[in-house]
Amino acid sequence: MPVRFTQSHEIHYYTSQIREIHEKYGLWIINGARGYASRPDSFTKGKTRYFEFYSLSHMYAGKGCFMLSDGKKIEMKPGDCALISPKELHNYGGYQGESYIEDSICFVGPIADQLYASGVLQSGVYHLGNVRKLSPIIDLSHDPAPGSQIKANIALQKLFFELYEKRIPDPKQTLLEDVISLLKENPARWYSVTELAELCNISDDTLRRLFQQEIHMNPKEYMESLKLNHAAEQLICSSATIQDIARSCGYNDPFHFSRRFKLFIGSSPMEYRKNKR
């Protein structure tokens, strides 16, 4: 899978042709790798990434950290796995002087898309356990025989549902996820802390404390990080003008938007878009 490096991101593509058996089945494992060890502190030193495919990474040794475009960092311990959906800005890797040692599988297909749409596949960190459950699936996927390919797909789907069943809702986390969903669905709107707190039926102080405890940012900082990450995605995926993208993220002044974007992303919107093409 080729990788394109830009000033701020690594963009990972897949280029292989899909086999007839995968097209008929609806799921295609495009890559499987065992025992990869990142360099120490690759999370801190690495760039934000962008995949054109789904990725499941099982960190069976080392120490890691994971982050999506919402800016929330999640420390990973051996046995945890990271699930990434296509076009999701993210970063994960070695942390606090240690390497991230993983088995990983990358996949695409309408079955994966349907599971994502239904909520079975969700980007995030899960605890898979210390047994290297991806390894036998990778072995099957490396065997070109049609029977082995089907067995690999079935085993991978079973693993999806195992992860789904292990997801246990945390009331506090569910509340935060609802707030995040609201902000993501309305990137053009600037909510006040009071408005968000009223929608959650909690006090302003409780909302601020929840953000600090779980995301280590205040609500306003987090809201702007979502807006600017959304703008970065639009600059890659959309042909809209920078002014229109700024407005869609709640910035009526394009010059103010450019200043905030450069401060947060590290380059101006124009430079960022140019480096992606």
Read off the pLDDT band of 239 (50, 70, 90).
confident
Burial environment of residue 26 by CB neighbours within 10 A (0 to 12, 13 to 18, 19 or more): middle
Per-residue pLDDT at 167: 65
* pLDDT tens string 128-177: 888 899 999 999 999 999 999 999 999 999 999 988 877 645 555 567 87
**pLDDT tens per residue, range 195-212:** 888 877 788 998 898 888
Mean pLDDT of the chain: 87
Which pLDDT score, from 0 to 100, does residue 226 have? 93
Dihedral, CA of residue 138, residue 153, residue 57 and residue 178, to nearest 10 = -170
Tell me what percent of the residues of the chain surpass a pLDDT of 70.
91
Residue 7 has pLDDT above 60, yes or no: no
The pLDDT > 90 percentage for the chain reads 55
* Predicted pLDDT of residue 3: 46
How confident is the model at residue 33, as a pLDDT?
92
76-98 pLDDT, tens digit each: 999 999 999 998 889 999 999 99
Compute the average pLDDT of residues 205-233. Answer: 90
Structure-token pair, residue 249 = 């993220």
Q: Which pLDDT score, from 0 to 100, does residue 225 have?
A: 93
Please name the residue that has the structure tokens 């920078």.
242
| Distance from C-alpha of 86 to C-alpha of 99, rounded to nearest angstrom | 25
How does residue 72 score in pLDDT terms, banded at 50, 70 and 90?
confident
Is pLDDT above 60 for 222?
yes
Of the chain, the end-to-end C-alpha distance in Å amounts to: 18
Domains of the chain listed by start with CATH number: 3-166 (2.60.120.280), 171-275 (1.10.10.60)
pLDDT of 247 > 60? The answer is yes
Higher pLDDT, 185 or 170: 185
Two tokens, residue 207: 């909302």
pLDDT digits (tens, 9 = 90+) for 9-51: 566 656 667 788 888 889 999 989 999 999 999 998 877 888 8
Interstrand relation of 73-76 and 64-68 (parallel, antiparallel or unpaired) = antiparallel
Query: 3-class DSSP state for residue 76?
Result: strand
Name the 3-class secondary structure at 250: coil
Summarize the confidence of residues 177-197 as an average pLDDT: 88
